[in-house]
Amino acid sequence: MDSRLAEVLAQTDRAALGGRLRSARQARGLTQGEVADDVMSVAYLSRIESGHRQPTAPALETLAERLDVSVESLLGVAERREIDEMRLALDYAELSLESGQPEDAEEHLRTALEMLATTQMDAMRVRARLLHARALEATEREDDAVLELESLIEDTSVDGLTKIKAGIALSRIYRETGDLGRAIECGERVMAHVEEAGLGSSDEAVQLAVTVAAAHFERGDTAHAVRLCRKAITAAESLGSPKARASAYWNASAMQARRGDVAAAVPLAERALALMGEGQDSRNLARLRGEVGRLHLELDPPDLSGARDNLEQAAADMRWSSATPADMAWTLLGLARVAFLAGDLAESRDLVEQVQTTADGHAPLIQAEALTLEGRTLAAEGATDRATASYQRAVHVLSAIGADQGAAQLWFDLADLLHGVGLHEAALDAYRRAAVSSGLRARVATTTLAHS
């Protein structure tokens, strides 16, 4: 018996082992006496089957030979051939996700999980669960993905790095769906585990830190978010890892852009893009390229050529990567803005329709942005009534989103546009909502002012 199986035998539950041994004997139609024969006493075999005695390694091998089964089957672990098949299924699933084929990934994962259900391959099962969560997100089942990721984080048998990866994905999903409180809470919960487990010096820990920082920034905790990002950059530089450094620079760039300093944001994003190009992460490379394209649109004046080049490349890369519908929708929205600013209103409207189809109710902020751009396009074409209807639909969608920086900016933009089409009360309400989303609150009650 090799050392791996000997270690499994030492940790195997005696009752479970005895049950499998008894089932194998009965399946062969043999009595305990026929199996024991001249190699051991019937009493010894009976005690093994009842779970009162653990067999020695030589005894287990002899029993396996007598029953014409493998030692692995008696121990409840997969045989080498099955292990290779399961590993191959998981490899195919990961490859399918990376190449933008989540349905194929689910097929491979279903096969692997069925095989893993009756084995003790815990590490492989954890990998399958994490891939399954990614596949659920990629097929627009975010709620199911959240449940799987939460389960991984809470499972005490899951290793530290997998918990971090699950925390990154979970925090990002919460942030992208507008639940910033949960995005921060789950991220910080996993960060505390990272510190306790001594895993702070890893690529994944840096990525988790900047993911939590992004959620803080969206909620308006700007100073804290910047501190987290600077700390992450310092950690990334000390690690010397292109992936960790790219993640830190990427988020620093996003924060500079949201603070209005686009000129400082562009070189940070381009540095992150160069670092990301050294690795194998096709999805994040495509997402970052899309971010660089959108930053070119924020320059004064906008760099339409640079924006189009990056956004078109990002869209092409996303079609064969594991990018989510939200990733693609943001990229298409950027291209729609390029078309609008270039005066190609028909192309802008076509792209906005693609954004709505791609987002399909799973990314309300993107949909609200798309409706706002649709309204601007219709207004530029002279269709004021239709533009007004688009703005009102944008207000309806945006009303369901929590307070964050992205929502605040869009409320402010919508206020000006609503005022332009004569909806003055709606414009005033939008200005108020912009203030609330950005963190402003009235310090004196209206009734107090009226009384004074």
pLDDT beyond 50 at 292 = yes
- The pLDDT of residue 452 is 36
Gap between the Cα atoms of 182 and 193, Å rounded: 17
pLDDT, tens digit, for every residue of 401-431?
765 667 778 888 888 888 888 888 888 888 8
Q: Among 57-61, 277-281, 333-337, 447-451, which range has the highest average pLDDT? A: 333-337
The residue with tokens 């014409």 is: 68
CATH fit for domain 354-452, picks 1.10.10.350, 2.40.170.20, 1.25.40.10, 3.40.30.10: 1.25.40.10
- The pLDDT of residue 88 is 84
pLDDT, tens digit, for every residue of 178-199?
788 899 999 999 988 888 878 7
pLDDT, tens digit, for every residue of 302-315?
899 989 998 999 99
Q: Say yes or no: do domains 3-77 and 354-452 share a fold.
A: no
218 pLDDT band, cuts 50/70/90, is: confident
Mean pLDDT of 116-133: 81
pLDDT beyond 70 at 443 = no
Flag the least confident range among 19-23, 269-273, 277-281, 335-339: 277-281
Gap between the Cα atoms of 167 and 212, Å rounded: 10
Between the alpha carbon of residue 90 and those of residues 130, 229, 424, the distances in Å are 11, 34, 57
Across the chain, what does the average pLDDT equal?
83
Mean pLDDT of 258-272: 79
Q: Rg of the chain's alpha carbons, rounded to an integer?
A: 29
- The pLDDT of residue 67 is 85
Give me the phi and psi of 205, to 5 degrees please.
Answer: -65, -40
Check residues 136 and 113 and name the one with the higher pLDDT: 136
| Distance in angstroms between the alpha carbons of the first and the last residue of the chain | 89
Check residues 278 and 296 and name the one with the higher pLDDT: 296
How much of the chain, in percent, has pLDDT values that exceed 90? 20
Length of the chain: 452
Contact predicate 318/327, CB 8 Å: yes
**Burial per residue of 376-398, b for 16 or more beta-carbon CB atoms within 10 angstroms, e otherwise:** bbbbeeeeeeebbbbbbbbbebb
Contact predicate 279/238, CB 8 Å: no
Domain ranges in the chain? 3-77, 140-261, 354-452
Give me the phi and psi of 104, to 5 degrees please.
Answer: -65, -40
pLDDT, tens digit, for every residue of 374-388?
999 999 999 999 999
CATH fit for domain 3-77, picks 1.10.260.40, 1.10.150.650, 3.40.50.300, 3.40.228.10: 1.10.260.40
Contact predicate 93/112, CB 8 Å: yes
Flag the least confident range among 1-5, 145-149, 206-210, 239-243: 1-5
- For residue 348, count other CB atoms closer than 10 A to its CB: 23
pLDDT beyond 80 at 172 = yes
Return the CATH fold of 140-261: 1.25.40
Check residues 238 and 448 and name the one with the higher pLDDT: 238
Mean pLDDT of 60-66: 86
> pTM value?
0.58
Check residues 200 and 129 and name the one with the higher pLDDT: 129
- The pLDDT of residue 450 is 42
Q: Among 114-123, 133-142, 303-312, which range has the highest average pLDDT? A: 303-312
Cα 72-68-14 angle, rounded to 5 deg: 45
Mean pLDDT of 42-58: 88
* Torsion region of 165: left, alpha or beta (phi above 0 gives left; psi -120 to 50 gives alpha): alpha
- The residues, any chain, with a CB within 8 Å of residue 138's CB and separated by 6 or more, are 97, 102, 105, 322, 324
pLDDT beyond 50 at 288 = yes
